Every structure is written in C-alpha cells, then in structure tokens.
Amino acid sequence: MNLRTVPPVEKTDYDYIIIGSGIAGLNTALLAQEHGSVLILTKGRIEDCNTLYAQGGIAAALGPGDSAVLHMQDTLTAGAGLCDPEAVSVLTREGPQRVANLIQWGVPFDTIHGQIALGREGAHSMPRILHAGGDATGQHIETTLAQRVAQSSITVLEFSLATKILVEEGRAYGVEARDTASSRTLKFTGRYIIVATGGGGRLYRFTTNPEVATGDGVALAFNAGAAVMDLEFYQFHPTAFSMEGSPSFLLSEAMRGEGAVLRDNQGRAFMSDYHPLADLAPRDVVSRAIAAEMESSGGGPVRLDISHLPADTVQARFPTIYSFCMEHGVDITKEPAPVAPAAHYMMGGIKTDVWGRTSLGGLYGCGEVACAAVHGANRLASNSLLDTLVFAQRVVASTLGDAPEPATPGPSPDGPAYVAATLTQRQLVCASAPALSLESLQDLMWRNVGINRNGQRLLLSARILQLWQRTMPKPEDLPSFELANMVLLARLMVEAALLRQESRGSHFREDFPQPSEQWEKHVVLTKISTSQEDAT
C-alpha cells in the first residue's frame, strides 16, 4: 500500500477514486484493484470510520432452517413498507457469498465446536448474526481489510479531505481534495468516482458515531448534482451508555439477543408494554419506548440488565462492552447499565440503484452514504455491514459493464414510488437564531429532528439552517468544511421530514402520529441551480 499524507506527484489519474476508508471503501478498493489503478482518499487515518465501532455483527442466512427468503421477510417488515424488494432480494441472496469472501480473507468470526456461531438480534426471526471477537466485529473486519490493502498496490492518501466532485457535461470525472496537514489543494481524475464516506451521526449531540461521521459524502454528491433519498430516516440506537461525562458508547443489540432486559428505574421490565417482541422489537420501537419512559421518569436513563447471565459468559461474549462499563464504574455482570438512545445510522443517502449507480454519470455510492432503499424506513439490525459487502461487489461489477441498462432506473414495479423535491427557500423570520457552531447545530438537531418531531419545530429548524448556510464564511480548514457539510445534510434531512406528513419507521411526527398509505413512497431531493436559488 502506498500510504502517504501528500499526493504522489508522479500520478494524479486513476481508474478508481474511492472516497472513504471504512469497510465499504476498503472492500470496494480490494475488488477494484484487479481491474485498474485505485486511489483511496480519507480525511483522517485509514481506520477512522464507523466500521471500527460496529459491534453487532453481520446478518446472513447461513444456519439450519434459515433462508434468504426469511431474511428478506424480516428486512421488509423492519423497513415499514419502504424497502425496495429488488434491493432486499439482492442483499439477502448475495450476502452469504460475500460473508464467505470475508472468511477467505481471514476475518476471524467466532465459532462453536468448529462451526460459525450465529446469534439472534432484534426483529430477526432466526439466529443469523456472525460476530468476531464477541462484540468487536467491526474492528476485526476493518483490521483485516486494512492489512490486505497494505499488501496491495492501492494508493491511500490519509488526511486528504475530498471537497468537490468534478463534473463535466453531466459526468463526474475527478475529485478535488485538501491535504489537511499543509492546506494544499489536490486534484485527481478518474474513470469511476465512488463515494463511501459513511454516515453523519455527528449532527446529533448524542451519537454512537466517531468524530469523522459528518455527512461529507451526501454533501459532495448533492453539490455535484446527484439526487439524494430517504434522508428523513435516521436510526437512533436504543441502547447507548448514558452517564454524565461519558461518550454515547454503543451497547450492542446482541445483548438483548442474548437475553438482556430493559428496565425502568424501579426495576420493572417495560418493553412488553410497547411491542409483542418486547426487548427484541425493531429499533425504532425500542428507541421511542425508552424516550417515553425517560420522559415519564424525569429524563434520566433507563437500565439494560444482563446480570442474570453467568459472569464468565458476559465477559466472553461482550468483552469490549464489559471493559468499557467497568472503566465507568458499572459491572454489568452484577448491575444494569444506564442507557439511552443515540443517533446511530443514516438510512437515507445518495440515491443509487442496486448496482451503486447514482443519477450522475461516473459517480457511484456504497455503504451507509448510499441509499438503494434496502433498509427502508428502519434498518434491520446487523444488515449494515452486509450492505457494504454486497453493494461494493456490485459497484465494481457495474464499472465492468456487468450491470444491465438503464443506468439509473426508476423504482421497481412492485416497490414504493418516488416524490421529487428541491430544497425550499423559506422566508427568514428567525431573528433569534443562535450563532452557528458545531454545538448549536447538534443541539438543534437533537431537540427538533430527533426521535420525536413535529411540523412547528421542523419548520423553525429549516429557517435557522437556511440562515446559517447563507451567512457562514467560506470553508478554509477541516472543521469548517465539515460544518458546512453538516449544515447542508441537516437542511436536506429537515426538508424531507417536513414533506413526509406521517409517522413511519424511524421518522415519528407528533402532529402526524400514524402511517399513511399516501406516503408509501420515497422523498428524492435534487439541487436547484444557483440562479434559481438566488432568485427566490
């Protein structure tokens, strides 16, 4: 691996330019290197990504009695009517082979008596979750892939922030980037530009995501002219460690899969009050239930109790979680852990087909940043890592001409329809808007665009965000570029949430608390021209 923090002067043109170094980016790069030269641009270190924090595992129909059909049914159910059936079929049918590829590459998945151990998580009807290192699945996958990249001819530029996708005659042909160490502007050209930057959890005050998750890929693609979709759907993980002064550390869904129980502050198990599956209900249901319990008890966290299991079982199955909780004074083998929801996963993103193709020629999306409607309105647990594996392979296949035409098809005949929109230029009547900062943005998003929403707060947020975007100075360094990207992503999310006048999956509106058949469709946003925006 050619690992540098400055550009290789001798080469600025590549076959594949990949933005992002999580499992989506690294997996795509490893597959693409067999067919051309590859450059990976990553704004931090190669290992700075959401993959590193993924504990739950990878879902694949590998066990006895399980099948791609059952996995598909569970995914469609969790997606609350907005999954694209073709995309889900692709995910569940091709998933087992992609997992087999990881095993061949050396990912050390956990075994029992020589067989891959399969766990069960919320809303899955069968045990089908593979783990590595107990609760360190993402770390093991990222490390394995990074080691393979290090042994390859792939060029990796760390600390290189992509700032612009270069477009000519309706086709992406390159990337402008910034060396964050020297502030130099870099320019690269490529036949295929692949965005794999992950999510945008740093938009929220409480998130399980690392600091690099600032929504850069959605902003890059949208500014280049690509369509984005389903951005009103942001998943809040129900059980993040919640203690003053502590990060929102993820306590994996696998804990509830192994029998952990959510309790209120009086020790009462409450999830059966909200859903027949109780603690194994879909994430959106559990998050809202916890939020309701917290509100009724004065705002403090609820408790996640796994102390009924033998201590050695807990320590072996959840070593990372056990160690973290012990460091913060909680022995989960003896007492419950304080938990609350936190922003976790972006279901929406750059609109793609099942081959990763966007609405802009030459531009592809893969992983959390992309949206082929495979997760619908609420992602099924442990489908995210599988998503990156399946669609990375399809992106590369598409560049080789293996994908059928048309390049950017409409919705599947049996899938939800689309409603197209642009960013609305709203009347600015929010003179009391706070000054823009990362903290004020995170507070606004958490209060107004979080687990519970309503039209009044969304409209106020839209006006404040528009004002911030119009008045913010031109980005000059990494923090200001990230803040600009987050403000744009926030505007897109709020606009989509305002349009969707119903509650569905992770999108819950207090003023429209029920789902509506009229909204069994996707919100697709596209950019208006500068002249149009200036004129409104």
pLDDT score of 387: 97
Specify if 467 maps to a domain. Answer: yes
152 exposure class (CB count in 10 Å sphere: 0-12, 13-18, 19+): middle
What amino acid is encoded at 150 in this protein? A
Pick the catalytic residue: 98, 120, 128, 283? 283
Token duo for residue 231 = 């951005």
Cα–Cα distance for residue pair 54/41, rounded to 1 Å: 22
Number of residues in the chain: 536
Distances (CA, A) of 96 to 103, 113, 117, 138: 11, 20, 14, 17
- What's the confidence (pLDDT) of residue 52? 56
Q: Which residues of 60-84 are buried (b: 16+ CB within 10 A; e: fewer)?
A: bbbbeebebebbbebbbbbbbbbbb
Both 428 and 531 in one domain: the answer is yes
- Domain boundary pick from 314, 342, 370: 342
Please state, as a whole number, how many other Cβ atoms lie within 10 Å of the Cβ of residue 25.
Answer: 31
In what helix (H) or strand (E) does residue 388 lie, and over which residues does it extend?
Answer: helix 384-399
Query: Which ranges of 9-136 does DSSP label H, i.e. alpha helix?
Result: 23-32, 68-78, 85-105
Is residue 359 a part of any domain in this protein? no
Across 95-127, b (16+ Cβ under 10 Å) vs e yields bbebbeebeeeebebbeeeeeebbbbbbbbebb
Q: Does residue 355 fall inside a structural domain?
A: no
Q: Is 336 found in the same domain as 248?
A: yes
Q: CA nearest 254: which of 180, 331, 174, 309?
A: 309
Where residue 442 sits, what CATH number does that domain have? 1.20.58.100
426 and 338 in one domain? no
In this prediction, residue 55 carries a pLDDT of 61
Inside any domain, residue 441? yes
Which whole-number Å values give the CA distances from 507 to 373, 376, 412, 453, 511, in the listed order?
A: 15, 11, 23, 8, 12
The answer to whether the peptide bond before residue 301 is cis (omega within 30 degrees of 0) is no
pLDDT of residue 431: 55
Up-side HSE of residue 248: CA atoms within 13 Å toward CB?
21
How far, in Å, CA of 33 to CA of 29, rounded?
Answer: 6
Range of the domain at 467: 422-535
d(CA 36, CA 396): 11
How many independent structural domains does the chain possess?
Answer: 2
Looking at the structure, do residues 245 and 333 belong to the same domain, yes or no? yes
Task: Examine residue 43 and state whether it is found in any structural domain, yes or no.
Answer: no
| Model pLDDT, residue 301 | 96
First to last CA, the chain: 49
In the residue annotation, 394 being an active-site residue is answered as no
Question: Would you say residue 468 lies in a domain?
Answer: yes
**The predicted structure's pLDDT at residue 403:** 77
**Any idea what the Cα angle at residue 476 is, between residues 205 and 45, rounded to 5°?**
65
Query: Distance of alpha carbon 46 from its chain centroid, rounded?
Result: 18
Whether 246 and 338 share a structural domain? yes
pLDDT for the residue numbered 429: 61
Per-residue pLDDT of the chain (536 residues; tens, 9 = 90+): 455 444 454 689 999 999 999 999 999 999 999 999 999 999 998 876 655 555 669 999 999 999 999 999 999 999 999 999 999 999 999 999 999 999 999 999 999 999 999 998 888 999 999 999 888 888 899 999 999 999 999 999 999 999 999 999 999 999 999 999 889 999 999 999 999 999 999 999 999 999 999 999 999 999 999 999 999 999 999 999 999 989 999 998 889 989 999 999 999 999 999 999 999 988 889 999 999 999 998 889 999 999 999 999 999 999 999 999 999 999 999 999 999 999 999 999 999 999 999 999 999 999 999 999 999 999 999 999 999 999 999 999 999 987 787 545 455 555 678 888 888 777 666 557 899 999 999 999 999 999 999 999 999 999 999 999 999 999 999 999 999 999 999 999 999 999 999 999 999 999 999 999 999 999 999 986 433 333 33
| Per-residue pLDDT at 462 | 95
pLDDT at 394: 98
pLDDT, tens digit, 9 for 90 and up, residues 371-412: 999 999 999 999 999 999 999 999 999 999 877 875 454 555
Asked whether the whole model's pTM tops 0.95, one would answer: no
Q: What is the C-alpha to C-alpha distance for residues 534 and 425, in angstroms, rounded to an integer?
A: 9
Give every CB contact of residue 487 below 8 A, 6+ residues apart in sequence: 436, 441, 465, 468, 469, 472
Structural domain ending residue among the three candidates 342, 372, 401: 342
Look at residues 342, 370, 403 and tell me which one is the last residue of a structural domain.
Answer: 342
Does 434 lie in the same domain as 530?
yes
Contacts of 2 (CB under 8 A, 6+ apart): 8, 153, 154, 155, 156
Q: Which pLDDT does position 512 carry in this prediction?
A: 98
- For the beta carbon of residue 528, count every other beta carbon within 10 angstroms: 14
Query: Can you list the alpha helix ranges (DSSP code H) found in 106-185?
Result: 137-150
Q: How far apart (Å, rounded) are the C-alpha atoms in residues 110 and 117?
A: 6
In a domain, 94, yes or no: no
Find the CATH number of the domain harbouring 258: 3.90.700.10
For residues 312 and 129, is the Cβ–Cβ distance under 8 A?
no
User: What is the dihedral angle through the alpha carbons of 13, 17, 19, 21, rounded to the nearest 10 degrees?
Assistant: -110
Express each pLDDT in 151-190 by its tens digit.
999 999 999 999 999 999 999 999 999 999 889 999 999 9
Residue 50, pLDDT score: 57
Structural domain includes residue 276? yes
